[in-house]
């Protein structure tokens, strides 16, 4: 497996507060990396670094061997817990947005045949995530789970090299969350995605991921707790992609007790 994303000696500091320290990480193409850790351990910071929303204080992040510029780009897609879709656009318009930006730099709108092609592509993607009946609804008319499906469709249409999920299912009901797990697994497999997902839910991390990273502080100074940052304390490879495809039933993987993988 080839390394897609690599972080070399990455530090994040705000003033004298150290958030992340000495992160060295290689993410293989096609892997599904779950990141867990206590609140404030810098899980989301790490994700924002890869996304380009934050810049490391030290160290380099490279995608496919090229150092990433300090801003977001279409090579990295993202789904946040909330506010991932545009409230003023319908589901279809939300999904077409990425195509329109790429093909029409000045107006960011398409007309005629190009528009119909984009609509078809977006519709197909929305059907793939189960929103075929909600093409012309605004996000406010969609449930939380449907909004996240829309956000995923929107991101996938740009065919990002890497898909970043920041607690994407954190605000959903347990039942809906199980549906979303099946969806993201299916999309991950069908589109050969590389996914990094931050989550609070340990079970989710283990049932979805091919690799689980736990972030925490290695050391703790009671007099200056901010002087030590979090880093990767556990790096657990769970199963290679091939094994997963051979795995008997998806439901079983969903039910798998996390203890099985505990170190």
Partner 1 sequence: MRWVNRNMRRNDRMIAGALPILALLVVYLVLAAQRHALNPSDKILPLPDAMARGLSALLFQADPLSGHFLFWTDTLASLERLGLGLGLATLGALVAGLVLGVLPPVRATLGPLVTAIAVIPPIALLPILFIALGLGETAKVALIVVGIAPAMIRDITDHIASLPREQIIKAQTLGASSWQIMIRVALPQAMPRLIQAVRLALGPAWVFLISAEAIASDTGLGYRIFLVRRYLSMDVIIPYVAWIALLAIAMDFALSQASRRAFPWAYGASH
CA distance 144 to 172: 6
Is residue 107 within the footprint of partner 1 (CB under 8 A)? yes
Q: Which parts of 218-237 interact with partner 1 (CB under 8 A)?
A: none
CA angle at 67 for the pair 23 and 158, rounded to the nearest 5°: 100
Q: Which parts of 123-162 interact with partner 1 (CB under 8 A)?
A: 138-141, 151, 154-155, 158, 160
Query: What separation in angstroms does the CA of 138 have from each of 85, 87, 91, 142?
Result: 10, 7, 6, 7
Q: Is residue 181 within 8 Å of 207, Cβ to Cβ?
A: yes
Closer residue to partner 1 (CB): 164 or 232: 164
Shortest distance (Å) from residue 164 CB to partner 1: 8
Which of 36, 28, 22, 11 lies closest to 170, judged by CA? 36
Shortest distance (Å) from residue 184 CB to partner 1: 17
- Pick the piece of the chain touching partner 1 (CB under 8 A) from 72-80, 176-184, 189-197, 210-218: 72-80
Closer residue to partner 1 (CB): 72 or 256: 72
Closer residue to partner 1 (CB): 21 or 100: 100
Query: What separation in angstroms does the CA of 186 have from each of 128, 129, 138, 181, 256?
Result: 10, 10, 25, 9, 18
Binding site for partner 1 (CB under 8 A): 51, 53, 71-74, 76-78, 80, 82-89, 97-98, 100-102, 105-109, 138-141, 151, 154-155, 158, 160
């Amino acid at each position: 497996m080839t390394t897609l994303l690599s972080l070399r000696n990455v530090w994040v500091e705000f003033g004298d507060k150290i958030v992340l320290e000495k992160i060295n990480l290689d993410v293989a193409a096609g892997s599904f990396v779950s990141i867990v850790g206590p609140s404030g351990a810098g899980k989301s910071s790490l994700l924002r670094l890869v996304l380009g929303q934050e810049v490391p204080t030290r160290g380099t992040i490279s995608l496919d061997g090229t150092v990433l510029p300090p801003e977001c780009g279409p090579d990295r897609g993202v789904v946040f817990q909330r506010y991932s879709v545009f409230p003023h656009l319908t589901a279809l318009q939300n999904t077409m947005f990425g195509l329109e930006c790429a093909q029409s730099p000045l107006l960011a709108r398409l007309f005629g045949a190009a528009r119909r092609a984009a609509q078809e592509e977006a519709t197909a993607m929305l059907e793939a995530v189960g929103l075929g009946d909600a093409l012309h609804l605004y996000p406010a008319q969609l449930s939380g789970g449907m909004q996240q499906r829309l956000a995923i469709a929107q991101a996938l249409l740009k065919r990002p090299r890497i898909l970043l999920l920041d607690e994407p299912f954190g605000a959903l009901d347990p039942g809906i969350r199980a549906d979303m797990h099946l969806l993201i697994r299916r999309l991950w497999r069908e589109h050969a995605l590389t996914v990094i997902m931050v989550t609070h839910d340990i079970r989710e991390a283990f049932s979805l991921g091919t690799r689980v990273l736990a972030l925490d502080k290695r050391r703790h100074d009671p007099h200056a707790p901010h002087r030590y940052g979090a880093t990767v304390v556990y790096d657990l490879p769970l199963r290679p992609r091939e094994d997963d495809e051979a795995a008997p039933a998806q439901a079983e993987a969903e039910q798998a007790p996390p203890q099985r993988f505990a170190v």
